[in-house]
Structure 1
Amino acid sequence: MLKDKHIAIYVTGGIAVYKSLNIVRELIKQEAQVQVVMTDAAQRFVTPLTFATLSQRPVITDNFTPQTSSDDFIPHIKLSLWTDLAIVVPATANIIGKMANGLSDDIVSTSLLATTAPKLVFPAMNTDMYNNSAVQNNLQTLKKMDIKIVEPATGFLAEGMTGKGRLPELPVIMGAIEKTFQPRPLTGKKVIVTAGGTKEAIDPVRFIGNRSSGKMGLAMAKVARDLGADVTLLTTVDTDLGGINIIQVQTAEELMKHLQDTFPETDVLVMAAAVADFKPINVADQKIKKNDDEDIFTIKLTKNPDILKTVAATKDKQFVVGFAAETQNLLTNAEKKLASKNADVILANNVAQSGAGFNVDTNRVTLLQKNQQPETWPLMSKIDVAKKFWDFYLTR
C-alpha cells in the first residue's frame, strides 16, 4: 500500500525523537520513499546521520543549504511539491503552535506551511503541557484546517510521571499512516447535508425555532468528508469544519432556495435540519412591546414549504435521506413520511427518549426504506450513527 509513496517525516525536538527511527525503518520496509526533515532541537536528541542511514537519503536540516549539487535553494517548496503525506512526529507544543498560527521560521514550519498534501500530527509531550488550554486550542485549530491529529497514549513519561502524552506505539502510528492511503469510497460523490433548526423571525429580536443542535447533521457531514465526498453543509449552526463547503442559512425559505440551486448537481441529500413547519405571516419591523392591558398576544402563522417533499419530487439520480424526529407513534409517523416525501430512506428517532433527543451526543435511530422491514439501531454516538449510515449507503 505504501510502495513508492512520497512521505515526509518532520521530526521536532521532543524526547520521543528516538521512536521516529522505527517509523522511518518500517516505512522503508514497506518500500515508501521517505524524506526526513529535522529541527535544530531534534538534532540534539538524534543525529541527522542516523535518520539518513535509515531513510537512504540526506536529511534536510535548513532552508539554505542544498542537499546535493543539483538541488536548488528552495528546498521547502521542492519538498512540498514532492510530498504525498506529511507526518509530524513527535509533534511538540512549539510546532503545533506554529502550524496553527501560520508561523514559518525554520525549515520544518516553512515546509509544512507550503505543503498542501494531507498531514498527520502526533503530539508527544508532558501531560500538563498537552492539557494546557493554549495547546488544546491550537489542536482544535489544526482539526478545523482538516489536519489529522492522532491522540497521544497514556503511560509512563520521560520525566517519571504517568499521564497522557506518550507517542503511540508503532502499530497505531503505522495504522494511521496506512489509513491515509486507503481508498475513500465516496470520492467523486457530491453530498449536501442540512443541519440545525431553522429560525423564523417574529420581530428583530425574537423568532420561532426548535431545540435542534445540529449535531446529527454535522456528524453526517464530517463522516462523508472523511470518506472522500465533496460535501456542502447548509446549516443554521455557527461552525467551521475543514474540507467542507459551509453555507449559513436561517429560515426555511433560505434553505429551500439554496437546495433548489445545488440539488440538481448532487448525488446524495441528507436532510437532517429541523425545519420549522410554520412562520409568522407578518414580521414586525420593531421589537413588539408588552401591553399591560393585554394578557394574550396572538401571532398568526402560515405553513412553510415542505422542503423535503418539494426537492425530492425533482430528483433524478439523487439519493434522498429524510429525518423524522417524533415524540410518539414513531414508526407510524415515519412510514407516512417515507411514503409521502419521495425519500429513499427515513432515519427516525424518538426525541423524547433519554439519550436520543436534541442537544445530546448520542442517538437511537430506526432506518426505514420502501418494501423493507424497519431496521432499529442501538443507542450510539452520533458520529457512529453517521458511520453506520454511510456504510449502509455504500453497501445497500
Structure 2
Amino acid sequence: MKARNKFVLVNALIFMCSTILTGCIDKTELNEIALVIGIGIDKDKDGESLLVTLELTNPNTNKESQDSPGKANSSILETSKGKNLSDALQNFTQISTLAIDFTHIQVIVMSKSLCVEGIDGVIDYVSRDRQFRNLNWILMAEDSARDVLKTKIPSDDITSLGLSNMMNKLRKNGSILPVDLNRFIIGFKSQVRASLAPVVRVEKTEDEPKGRIKIEKTAVFKNDRLVGVLTTEESKYLAWFHRRIKGNLVVSPIKSASKNENIVVQIFKEDTKINTNIKDDGVSFEIKCIATAEIKELTNLKLNSAVINRIETNTEQILEVQLSELINKCQTNLNADIIGFAEIIYNNNPEKWGSMKENWDEIFPNTKYKVSFDVTLKKLGMIKDSPIENEEEGKSQ
C-alpha cells in the first residue's frame, strides 16, 4: 500500500512540475498582440501583386494616452505587398514585431481594380482560414481600399468598427443591401454564380478635405468578377427580392396633376411573391409586391378618400416602373440574375431547370416578367392636413 501511495505522489509531482515549468515558455503578452479589425486589399501598380492594408488596434494606446492625453491613435495601419493574399500576410512579419490576430476582424474591403480582374483567390483564402468569420462584412471600394481604411469616421475611433456599425444600421433599416462573407459566398455557389457587395467611397469636399466615408451603390459580381454597379436608387429596390430584409424603405416623390402639390411617401416592404409560368415557348414571372406607406411631406393638398386612393395608385405606378427598370438593367446591361429567377425555377421545378441551366445566360436576357404593387396608405403622421395653408391650395384639389 505504501509503494502505491508513493507511486501516486511521484506522478502527481511530475505533472505539477511539468505544468509550472512549461506554462509560460511560449507566452505572448497582450501588448505584443495586434488585433486586426479591418483588411483592405488593393491591386498594386505593377498589375501582378497585391497591396494588403491591415487596420490594427494600437497596443500602446493606454501608454500613449497617459504620456500625451488626447493624442493617442486607437488604431494603426500597416501595409504589405505580396504575390497573393497569403504571401502578403506572411510578409507582415518582415515589417512588424507584433503578433497579428484576425479573430476580431469586422470588414473586408476590396478595391474596384481587384474586383474587375477577379477575386477568387482572395475569397478562397478568407473562406479557408479559420480566423476569418462568415459574419465579416464585404465591401468594394470605389477607388483605393487603403484610402477607405485611413479615412476616419467622426463617431468611431477605429474606421473598420465604424464601417461595421454602418452596415449593421443598413441591415435594420437602410437603402443599401448589406452583405457578409457568408451571403457573398452563397451567391457564387448559387445556380447563376452571381453575388453582390455594397460600394464604399471617400467623398472629399471643401468642408471636409480629408474626406468622409459613404456607403452607396451596389457592386454586381458574376463568376468572381465585377460586371457592373447599381446606382443608389436601383440598389433600394433589391430589397424586394430578399426575404431576409424587412423594414427596408424607399422614399418616393409622388407626381401629381398640379405643379403646386408636393407629396413624399415613405414605403415599407411587407412581402414579395414571385410566380413562375413555364411553357414550351419559354418562361415568365409574375412579381407581386405588397407594401404599406406613410406620408412624410404634404403641401398644397387636403386629404380625403379620393386623394388617398390617388396617392396609393400613383405610388404603385412609380414603384412598378422603378422595379421594372432594375430587372431590365440586370437583363440587358449586366446579364446577371441577381433577382433570383433561376433559383426559383430550380427550387420549384428542378427537372425543368436541368434543361435550362446550360443556356440560362441566353434565356435570362429574354425572360418576360410582370411587376405589380399593392400599396396601402396606413399612416398620415401626427397631423392630417398641412399646418400651413397656401392660397392656391383650393385650386389644386
TM-score (norm 2): 0.26
Richer in strand (by share):
2
Asked which structure has the greater CA Rg, the reply is: 2
Richer in helix (by share):
2
TM-score (norm 1): 0.26
